[in-house]
């Protein structure tokens, strides 16, 4: 599963959100990967963060509280 979102305030930037299973090798926990590419390349973002799925609900809640 993945989704690409246009990055507001840029001409071609994107935010990519992807689910990665075993990102650090066999047995490692699945993560949500959130990447930012100012160049518009969702497959090679300049910045990215991996969030363990166990933390996802709390991170979403924290992000929503920023509104």
Q: List Cα–Cα distances, 61 to 24, 49, 67, in angstroms.
A: 26, 17, 11
> What value does the CA radius of gyration of the chain take, rounded to a whole number of Å?
13
For the entire predicted model, the pTM comes to 0.89
What does pLDDT average to over the chain?
97
pLDDT digits (tens, 9 = 90+) for 5-23: 999 999 999 999 999 999 9
| Domain around 20 | 2-64
How many structural domains compose the chain?
1
Can you give the pLDDT at residue 1? Answer: 76
């Amino acid at each position: 599963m993945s989704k690409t979102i246009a990055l507001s305030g840029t001409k071609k930037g994107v935010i990519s959100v992807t689910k990665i299973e075993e990102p650090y090798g066999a047995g490692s926990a699945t993560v949500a990967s959130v990447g930012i590419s100012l160049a518009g390349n969702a497959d090679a973002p300049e910045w990215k963060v991996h969030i363990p799925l166990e933390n996802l609900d709390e991170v979403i809640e924290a992000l929503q509280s920023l509104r």
